[in-house]
Structure 1
Amino acid sequence: MHALKKQGYKVQGFKVGPDYIDPSYHTVITDRDSRNLDAWLMGNNGVIKSFINASKDADISVIEGVMGLFDGLSGKNDMASTAHIARLLKAPIILVLDASKTARSIAAIAYGFMKFDPRLEIAGVILNNIASKKHAEYCVDALKSINTRILGVVERNKDIKLEERHLGLIPTGEERIRIDKAKQVAESISEKLLVDEIVKIAENAKALDYKIIERKKDEVKVRIGLALDNSFNFYYADNIDRLRKYGAKIIPFSPIRDQLPEVDGLYIGGGFPEILAEELSRNSSVMKDIKDAAYDGMPIYAECGGLMYLAKSITDFDNNRYNMVGLFDMEAVMTKRLTLNYTYANTIN
C-alpha cells in the first residue's frame, strides 16, 4: 500500500475477516479508512457492496488476507476465507510465501496453492524471510520452473519487526512512535517490490457486474456517544457510516479522560480495557453517569472490551482487580488462554 501511495496512487485498503488492528495500520499508511470484508458477518452481497462503495474514488484497492489463503470458518470449505473473498470480487491474488527453512520446496508450496482451486487467479508471489542472496537464487530458480511471476523478494530483517501483544499487533493509535515504526517498515518493504508489475495485475482484474442503489442520508435524529480512545478503538468503519446514514450524529468521547456527553445512546466497542484498566477505573464519574443513564433507559450497545467495561470489574494479567461500571453482575478476568473464532449466540429475555 505504501509503495503504491508513494507513486501517487489513491490506495484503498481492506482486510479479510473480523480484524480491527491490521486495518488501523492500513489507515495510517493510506490516509483512508480501511474496511473489513467478512462474508460470515456481512454476507456475499454485503462484501461486494462495501468493496465497491469504498473503492469508487480510489485508484487501486489492496486486500490483505487472513491466515492462509483457504483458511476460513472450518476445514470443510473455504467460507469466509481469503479465497472466498477473492472469488466474490474476481480479484487476482498475490501470494506472500514464507521462504524461511525452505528452498526448492517453495515451488511445490506455490504449485499446490495454484492448483488447489482452479477458479482462483494467482497472479504472482512475493518471497518473504529470505536469508541470503544464495537463498533467494534457489527460491527464484525453483519458482521459474513452474512459470510463477515473482513480484518481490523480502530479506529477513529483525530491525523492522512490529510489536505484538495477546491479540496480535498493537493498535497504531496508542503511541506516535508506533505509527513512525509502521511507516519505516512499509518503506523498507516497498523497496523490494516490483510495483509496476503489481499495478498491471490490478489493471487487468475482471470488472464487477454489480449495481448499487444508494440510500439517501437521513436528517440527524439522534446523538450517539462513541467511546473512542486508547482503551476503546475497535470499530468497523462501515458500521459508523451506516449509523450516520440513518440519522445519527456521532459524538466521540474518552472513558479515560472525559465526562459523558449529552447523547441519546452509547456505542462502546472493543479495544484493550484490560491494559488500561487502572486509568479507566480512575474516571469514576463517567462510569457512574453511564450506569445511571442505563437505568434511566438509555440504549447502550457494547461488545468485546466494551462489555468488559460494563462489568463490575476487570482483573488484568498481573491479577490486579479494578472497578468498572458495574452495570452487569459479572467480572472480567484475563487468562493466558486465547480463543478466537466465530460464535453464534441466542438472545434471551
Structure 2
Amino acid sequence: MVSTPWALPRLVVAAPASGHGKTTVATGLLAALRRRGLTVSPHKVGPDYIDPGYHALAAGREGRNLDPFLVGAERIAPLLRHGASVPTPADIAVVEGVMGLHDGAVGRRDYASTAHVARLIDAPVLLVLDTTAQGRSAAALTLGMAAFDPAVRIGGVILNRVGSPRHESLLRDALAEVGVPVLGAVTRAVEVAAPARHLGLVPVAERAPESLAIVAALAELVEATVDLDAVLDLARTAPPLTGPAWDPVAAVGGPADAERPLVALAGGPAFTFSYAETAELLTAAGADVVTVDPLHDPALPSGTRAVVIGGGFPEAYAEALAGNATLRAELADFDGPIVAECAGLLYLGRSLDGVPMCGRLDLTARMTGRLTLGYREALAATDSPVARAGEQVRGHEFHRTTTDPRHGEASAWRWDDAEHGFVSGRVHASYLHTHWAGHPDAARRLVRACR
C-alpha cells in the first residue's frame, strides 16, 4: 500500500513514574491547543480506558489507545495515523504515556512502554516531573531518563508541584546545566484533581458536568503555566509519518454480503470501557452499530442481531441496572450472539453483590479487596462468536471482582495453565479485555454469526 508522507506534529507526554501528573498535563495540553483553534488528536499508551475519555472531552474527538502488546508493534504507527486522520486530519497529536517512561510489560524489558511507543512513532518526549522535595536532583533524574535509551529524545520538561519561585529558579538552572529546556512550571497551589475510585479516575461519562469543569480548569492551568509555542515547536520536530494508516475495512476484508445486521454496543455510565476501533471494525465487517444504555434503555433496538457488552463499573450502578428489569429479561432470552468483557460478564450473571442481574449465565459475582491487573496471553478454549478454539489472543485484566464459579464447563480462554471465562450457547463472556485491532477476526466472526 502506497502512502504519502505526512508531516504530523506530535509528542509524547511521559514521566519517570506514575503519579507525576501526566494526565493533568496531557489533558490540559489537548484542551489548551484546541482553544487555539487547532485540531488535536488524543492518544494513550497502554490499555487504559479512562484517560482517553478525558482526552476526548478535551480534544473534541475520540481518544485512542496505542498498545503494542494488545495490537502488535507493527500497528502502532498505522493506528496513530488512522486516529489522527478521522473524522478530519489533525494539526497535532498528543500521546499520553503509561507508568514510567521505560516501564514495559512484565518480563519483556521495555516492550509496550511509553519509550517503546515513542520510538515506534518517532516522536519527541515531553517529560513531566513531580519536583516535590527535590532540587538539582531533578536534572540528574532527567539526564538519567534520557541516557537510559538514547533512541528516545527528551525534548523538554514540565515541572510539576513546584513549591515557590525560588524552587522554580533552582530547578530551571539545574536543567539548563544538562541542556534540557523547561517548557512549563506548575505550582502545588494550582493543581486540578479529577475524582478517583478503586480502579483509577472516575470515567467522564459518569460525571459529565464535573468533567467539563475539570477539563476547562486544566486548559486554563496549562495556558497559564506552559509555553504552548515551545510545545508546538517541539512537536514539529517529529519527522513525517511515512507508512499507511490502519484501515478497518482492509483489516476485516470488507463486508461479506449486502445484508447489514444490527449490533447493539453497550454504553452509558455503567459501560464506558470500549475502544473506538471496535465499532469501526464491526461497521467495516458489514454491521450497523447502535449504542444501548443498560441503565436507561428499556429494550434493545428493534432488529438487534448481536450484543457487545464491554467493561465499566456495574458495581457502582448495580441497583439501577437491576431496576431496568425489561432489558435484563430481554438479554436473558436473547437468541443472538452476545460478547461480554469484565463488566459485561458480571451483568450477564445471576447477581452482583446480591443485586439481581440478567441471569443469562449461571454465576454470581462480588467485589473483593484484591486487584487483578496485568497483560495476558490467552488461548481460545472453545469455539465462540469471536474466536476459534486454539486461537491465540492477547488481552489484559483489570478488576476487583470475582465470580462463582470461576469459569464455565466450556471456558472462554486458557492462560497460565488455567481455565477462564464462559462460553454458553452463543454467549462468550470473560474478564479478558481485548483490542480488536489486534485480532480483527473477532469482528468478522461476530458479524458472520449474526447471519
How high is the TM-score relative to the length of structure 1?
0.94
**Secondary structure of 1:66's match?**
coil
User: Separation in 2 of the partners of 1:123 and 1:252?
Assistant: 41
Partner deviation per Cα, 1:123-171 (whole Å, 9 max, x = no partner): 1111111111111111111111101111110111366211100111111
Q: What is aligned with 1:318?
A: none
Instruction: Kindly indicate whether residue 350 of structure 2 is the aligned counterpart of residue 290 of structure 1.
Output: no
Is contact 1:232-1:305 (8 Å) kept? Answer: yes
Shift of the 131–212 alpha-carbon distance from structure 1 to 2, 3 Å rule, reads: closer
User: 1:3 aligns to what SS in structure 2?
Assistant: helix
Give the aligned partner of residue 337 of structure 2: 299
Amino acid at match of 2:148: F
| Distance in structure 2 (CA, Å) of the matches to 1:212 and 1:196 | 28
CA separation of 1:247 and 1:157: change in aligned 2, threshold 3 A:
farther
Give distance in 2, aligned partners of 1:131 and 1:340: 34
Identify the residue that residue 347 of structure 1 maps to in structure 2: 380
* Paired amino acid for 1:46: R
CA distance in 2, matches of 1:301, 1:345: 16
Letter in 2 for 1:345: A
Out of 154, 159, 164, the residue aligned to residue 196 of structure 2 is 164
Match of 1:49 among 75, 78, 99: 78
Shift in Å, 1:181: 2.1
CA positional deviation for 1:186: 2.8
| 1:332 equivalent in structure 2 | 365
Secondary structure at the aligned position of 1:24 is classed as helix
Asked if the contact 2:322–2:357 (Cα under 8 Å) also holds between the matched residues in 1, the reply is yes
State the Cα distance separating 1:76 from its structure 2 match.
4.7
How far the C-alpha of 1:283 sits from its partner, in A, is: 1.2
Q: Quickly say closer, same or farther: Cα 1:12–1:299, change in 2 above 3 A.
A: same
Q: After superposition, what is the alpha-carbon deviation per residue over 1:202-229, rounded to whole angstroms, capped at 9, x for unaligned? A: 1121122213485476456210011111
Aligned to 1:73: 105
1:182 and 1:204 mapped to 2: Cα distance?
Answer: 27
Q: Which residue of 1 aligns with 2:8?
A: none
Count of residues paired in the alignment: 341
Structure 1 residues 267 and 198: CA distance shift in structure 2, 3 A? same
Higher relative contact order (CA 8 A, sep 6+): 2
Q: Does 1:138 align with 2:179?
A: no
- 1:86 and 2:127 equivalent? no
Q: CA deviation at 1:274?
A: 0.3
| Residue in 1 that maps onto 2:285 | 246
Select 2:300's aligned residue among 260, 275, 298: 260
The verdict on how the C-alpha distance between 1:212 and 1:135 changes in structure 2, with shifts beyond 3 A counting, is closer
Contact 1:161 1:185 in 2 (8 A): no
**1-side partners of 2:259 and 2:190: how far apart?**
50
Deviations along 1:92-135, whole A, 9 cap, x unmatched? 11101111111111011101101000111111111111111111
The partner residue of 2:347 within 309, 319, 330 is 309
Alignment of 1:149-298 (within 5 A): 149-157=181-189, 160-175=192-207, 176-212=209-245, 214=247, 215=249, 218=255, 221-258=260-297, 259-262=299-302, 263-293=304-334, 296=335, 298=336
Q: Counterparts of 1:26 and 1:255 in 2: how far apart (Å)?
A: 24
Matching residue's letter, 1:143: L
Residue deviations 1:160-192, cap 9 Å, x none? 211100111111111222222222123213321
Compute the RMSD of aligned alpha carbons.
Answer: 1.6
The TM-score with structure 2 as length reference comes to 0.73
Q: State the distance in 2 between where 1:137 and 1:90 align.
A: 32
- Residue identity opposite 1:300 in structure 2: I
Where structure 2 has 5 or more consecutive residues not aligned to the other structure, the ranges are: 1-29, 383-451
Runs (4+) off by over 6 Å: none
Amino acid at match of 2:363: M
- Relative distance call for 1:300 and 1:128 in structure 2 (3 A) is same
The answer to whether the 8 Å contact 1:50/1:238 transfers is no
Residues in 1 aligned to 2:166 and 2:259: alpha-carbon distance in whole angstroms? 62
- Counterpart CA distance in 2 for 1:42 and 1:220 is 29
Partner of 2:51: 22
Query: What secondary structure, in the 3-state scheme, does the structure 2 residue paired with 1:256 have?
Result: coil
CA distance in 2, matches of 1:70, 1:159: 26
Q: Sequence identity of aligned pairs in percent?
A: 39
Q: Which amino acid aligns with 1:333?
A: R
Indicate conservation of the 8 Å contact 1:3/1:191, yes or no: no
Distance (Å, rounded) in 1 between the aligned partners of 2:206 and 2:199: 15
Q: What CA distance in whole angstroms lies between the structure 1 residues aligned with 2:259 and 2:55?
A: 30
- Asked if 1 retains the 8 angstrom alpha-carbon contact of 2:333 and 2:360, the reply is no
Q: 2: distance between equivalents of 1:158 and 1:335?
A: 36
The Cα of 1:23 is off from its aligned counterpart by 0.4
Q: Which has a greater percent of strand?
A: 2
Asked if structure 2 preserves the Cα contact closer than 8 Å seen for 1:162 and 1:182, the reply is no
Contact map agreement 2:306 2:338 (CA 8 A) in 1:
yes
TM-aligned CA deviation for residue 81 of structure 1: 0.7
1:244 Cα offset (Å) = 1.2
2:66 is the alignment partner of 1:33: no
SS across alignment from 1:346: strand
- 2:82–2:246 Cα contact (<8 Å) kept: no
| Maintained 8 Å contact 1:2/1:190 | no
More displaced stretch, 337-346 vs 222-231: 337-346
1-structure distance, mates of 2:350, 2:184 = 51
CA contact (8 A) 2:78 2:246 kept: no
